[in-house]
Amino acid sequence: MIFALLIILLILLATFTGIKYYYSSNDHYWVDRGVRFMKPSDFASLWSRLTMQVLLSDIETRAYEACGDNQYAGYMQLRKPQLFVKDLDIIKQILVKDFAHFVDRQNLDLSGTDPLIHNMLTNLGGQEWKDVRSAVSPTFTTGKIKRMFQSFDECAINLIDYLSKERDQGREWHVSG
């Protein structure tokens, strides 16, 4: 009986050690590239992330704080390298000038959700992303966005008016993020 329990304990220990080694064996990725490495446990434990006890926004906030004075830092999400960029100038460089080079970003599998959300440019990857981006890019030139600003402003004012009336009538709404 004791021998069987000892065997089970050894199997569990070997399994846990193997899983731990498998997921941490790629931790040198960012260090090899001269980028500060943040352990995921610096901002949330694996258990709290798997059981969704911590919101994604809280994880991002903790990662921002764990990044310290660095402009960017890397971490591993399971075995996949992730780069956390904190510097606004670098973010602008990536999102504006180098956007075409970042085809396959981290995305969520939204295939079972609303098709409009699933097919948003930010959720696409590969050739599909390139095709949609080339079709949509001419729509959002600086001049066209400046001409649309008045419409954006009017919509924002209408939304504020609507929410103010709802509040004045004592209605409640819940916003989550």
pLDDT at residue 158, rounded to an integer: 94
pLDDT at residue 144, rounded to an integer: 84
CA separation for the pair 41, 92 (Å, rounded)? 28
Range 127-140 average pLDDT: 82
Query: What is the CA 30 to chain-centroid distance, rounded?
Result: 18
The answer to whether 75 and 39 are in contact (CB under 8 A) is: yes
Q: Angle CA(18)–CA(24)–CA(29) in degrees, nearest 5? A: 145
The answer to whether 72 and 86 are in contact (CB under 8 A) is: yes
Using one digit for the tens of pLDDT, what is the confidence trace for 75-115?
887 778 888 899 999 988 888 788 777 766 655 666 666 77
CA separation for the pair 108, 118 (Å, rounded)? 9
Backbone angles phi, psi at 34, to 5 degrees: 75, 25
| pTM exceeds 0.85 for this model | no
